[in-house]
Amino acid sequence: MKRLLMRVSVGAGLLAFVPSLVAREDARLVSNWQYRTGDVAGAGQLEFDDNGWQTVTLPHNWGWEQAQQGENYYRGPGWYRRALEVSPRPGKRYFLRFEAAGSVADVYLNGQPLGQHRGAFGAFCFEISRQLSSTGTNLLAVRASNAPERDVAPLSGDFCVFGGLYRPVHLIETGDINFCLTDHGSSGVAWLQTRVTADRAVLDVTAQISNATGRKEELILAARVLDASGHAVATVEQPIPVVPRVTAPFALHIEVPQPHLWNGRPDPYLYKAVLELRSKDGAVLDSVEQPLGLRSYSVDPDKGFFLNGKPYHLHGVDRHQDRWNEGWAISEADQDEDMNLIKELGCTVVRCAHYQHSDYFYSLCDKAGILVWAEIPQVNEIDPSPQFAETSRNQLLDLIRQNINHPSIFAWSLFNELWPGRSDPHRELQDLKIVANGEDPTRPTIAATATEQLPQMNKIPDWLGWNIYPGWYEGWGTLQAFGPLLDRGRSISRHGGFCVSEYGAGANVAQHEQNPKQPRPDGQWHPEEWQAVVHEAAWAAMKTRPFVWGTFVWNMFDFTSYSRHEGAVRGRNDKGLITYDRKTKKDAFFFYKANWSEDPTLYITSRRFTERTNAVTDVKVYSNANEVELLLNGVSQGGRSNAINCVFVWKNVELKPGENRVATQAQRGGHALSDECVWTFKPTAEVRNR
């Protein structure tokens, strides 16, 4: 088929659709947006003069500049305007789809309001067919505001809510009859995996079909499943009556014999699922193609997580989407880098905290075989109003309907750390669970809690994760508390098993301490060595308990929390295994890489602790090799083997005055490994050494 051509004028933002055989076309509106911070009277009107406004490209957002410096950041409105020259064609419909806007968006075309979306993370879509000018000259205006609203979660939380059009905006052309685009911004198509075994995958497909014509049509709804080579492995079609000016659901049942299963990291096999709407003479009126990974999973309270009937431990990280000097306006290349780092670590799962992440990132997880915990931004507290309940329900519907076909997503999360002494969340959570289970009976609901004081709340989700911080936050105890806390969690989480949804400690890669002691989490001293000690203790406790079906490090990357001033850095939550700019992998990153990844790993810890005032020091190395040799200034200090959890230690190594070259070497899988760093011993140097 010939692809539809676009003509884009840089000056005016002209988009002209050229006739095509393709049933649906999608163009991103990237450039030539005019932007101004603040509320501007009349900015939604066609005649408004936006001369002097800033010209920006999408994605774009605000607030990060102040927030990442630890300052109170701007939370309020901003306006976007853009020329949109589209010549509407007979028999075609036109839509604007926003992948997200922070956090309340009002959209206007030619001065006419298209609608409002409340919530900073879900996509939304408006039809513009009737509002388009017959001349082809149009004006699109968007008011986005990240001002706090009592009906829009999150009401609080240890992260920022930036404003703006921080994900792509699409102009979509379809025929008069199509798969509905305005059903919570979804594709209008849901492939439910009713039953999946090694012998057969049973799929129940629902399509929301919209007929904008005044005619009743007799059409064909056809589904195909194509393997990775493009060969059809299952097909089904049936005639359907389409009623005039109605959007209605239609169902298909399709089975794939002897399916090639989606088996996580070892084999994330993807089929292609194709749903077509055809005329009686076979012309394709609309089609939706999506990846399809066939899998099943379950949790045994004693034995842990099972993928496709086989034990499959989930160990991974939590992730926030923001980046240094970008905020939320991240590119696909940024997300590719995040995914490559998560894969390098050896993760099998990621918790996308604390809100809906981009469709692009979920797709990366599909391809990588990394399972996903997906959640809505209900953090710390709820508001008791009916408006809050309605907005939260819509956020959950956005999350589920837009992402229901991602094979990587294994659970829908209802909340994170709701606390006693605030508005009672029980009724609202029960309602959300009913919505989630009704929308998607193939996946459980889940939540992350940190309190036993609301025991009935903790029983509402099908599965439950616990956020625990021994060795870091006050009240969680020392490192020795990990084991007893895990055993306690098991005893009160029997119905859905037990996982650790958060754990960890902060670290500033410029701060170091020999023989580290537990620091104050809200203090200015966050030595990198203590973070590593916390993770060593945590993994040792979790690894030996098979009932802990999943573990999630908080966090994969440092992220902005504007109110924090800890570890000598303002505006930063420094619990990441990698620094905010993604440039430095902390010691704890390599601890997990040695334990989780099959890639040969050899890494000397405390490598950035370059200025030493103690001549005698321990040397610690992380490696998945069987034996590691240490050399100091070219002299062997002996080999070590039988490491516990990939940790090798040489006690009481003595440094000489001046530079000391510390080197290690090992063999793994036929690969020669080596690593080295330089430490300078200055007995009289005034270097902080606690």
Between CA 375 and CA 352 the distance in angstroms is 7
534 shares a domain with 431: yes
Between CA 82 and CA 32 the distance in angstroms is 6
Answer whether residue 179 is part of any domain: no
Average pLDDT rounded to a whole number, residues 162-181: 98
Answer whether residue 369 is part of any domain: yes
193 shares a domain with 170: no
669 shares a domain with 573: no
Predicted confidence at residue 487, as pLDDT, reads 94
Answer whether residue 297 is part of any domain: no
Amino acid at 23: A
> Into how many domains does the chain fold?
4
* pLDDT, tens digit, 9 for 90 and up, residues 243-270: 999 999 999 999 999 999 999 999 999 9
Answer whether residue 1 is part of any domain: no
Gyration radius of the chain over CA positions:
27
Between CA 604 and CA 616 the distance in angstroms is 16
Q: Annotated catalytic residue: which of 173, 326, 381, 417?
A: 417
121 shares a domain with 55: yes
Predicted confidence at residue 424, as pLDDT, reads 97
Between CA 79 and CA 74 the distance in angstroms is 14
Between CA 193 and CA 440 the distance in angstroms is 10
**Residues in Cβ contact with 688 at an 8 Å cutoff, skipping those fewer than 6 apart:** none
Answer whether residue 300 is part of any domain: no
The DSSP H or E segment spanning 390 is: helix 386-403
**In what order do the strands lie in the sheet containing 271-278?**
232-242, 217-226, 271-278, 284-292
Between CA 95 and CA 181 the distance in angstroms is 8
The answer on pLDDT for 363 being more than 50 is yes
* pLDDT, tens digit, 9 for 90 and up, residues 556-583: 999 999 999 999 999 999 999 999 999 9
Predicted confidence at residue 300, as pLDDT, reads 94
Predicted confidence at residue 5, as pLDDT, reads 28
CATH number of the structural domain spanning residue 158:
2.60.120.260
Query: What pLDDT band is residue 22 in, cutting at 50, 70 and 90?
Result: low
468 shares a domain with 370: yes
367 shares a domain with 269: no
Answer whether residue 229 is part of any domain: yes
334 shares a domain with 364: yes
* pLDDT, tens digit, 9 for 90 and up, residues 645-684: 999 999 999 999 999 999 999 999 899 999 999 999 998 6
Answer whether residue 689 is part of any domain: no
* pLDDT, tens digit, 9 for 90 and up, residues 277-320: 999 999 999 999 999 999 999 999 999 999 999 999 999 999 99
110 shares a domain with 239: no
CATH number of the structural domain spanning residue 257:
2.60.40.10
The answer on pLDDT for 13 being more than 50 is no
81 shares a domain with 48: yes
The answer on pLDDT for 685 being more than 80 is no
* pLDDT, tens digit, 9 for 90 and up, residues 371-416: 999 999 999 999 999 999 999 999 999 999 999 999 999 999 999 9
* pLDDT, tens digit, 9 for 90 and up, residues 588-628: 999 999 999 999 999 999 999 999 999 999 999 999 999 99
Tokens of 222: 């056809």
* pLDDT, tens digit, 9 for 90 and up, residues 46-92: 999 999 999 999 999 999 999 999 999 999 999 999 999 998 999 99
Query: What pLDDT band is residue 481 in, cutting at 50, 70 and 90?
Result: very high
* pLDDT, tens digit, 9 for 90 and up, residues 191-244: 999 999 999 999 999 999 999 999 999 999 999 999 999 999 999 999 999 999
140 shares a domain with 97: yes
The angle subtended at Cα 205 by Cα 203 and Cα 206, nearest 5°, is 155
Report whether the peptide linkage leading into residue 561 is cis, meaning its omega lies within 30 degrees of zero: no
φ, ψ of residue 164 to 5 degrees: the values are 120, 180
Between CA 507 and CA 572 the distance in angstroms is 11
Q: Which of 538, 571, 597 is the last residue of a domain?
A: 597
Q: Which of 149, 174, 199 is the last residue of a domain?
A: 174
Q: What is the largest CA-CA distance in the chain?
A: 90
* pLDDT, tens digit, 9 for 90 and up, residues 485-508: 999 998 888 777 899 999 999 999
CATH number of the structural domain spanning residue 366:
3.20.20.80
Answer whether residue 181 is part of any domain: no
**Residues in Cβ contact with 469 at an 8 Å cutoff, skipping those fewer than 6 apart:** 476, 502, 503, 504, 505
Mean pLDDT over the full length of the chain: 95
617 shares a domain with 590: no
Distances in Å between the Cα of 314 and the Cα atoms of 23, 330, 532, 633, 644 are: 41, 27, 21, 41, 20
Between CA 5 and CA 16 the distance in angstroms is 8
Q: Answer yes or no: 417 catalytic.
A: yes
Q: Which domain holds residue 658?
A: 611-681
617 shares a domain with 494: no
* pLDDT, tens digit, 9 for 90 and up, residues 128-144: 999 999 999 999 999 99
Predicted confidence at residue 495, as pLDDT, reads 76
Q: Which of 119, 148, 174 is the last residue of a domain?
A: 174
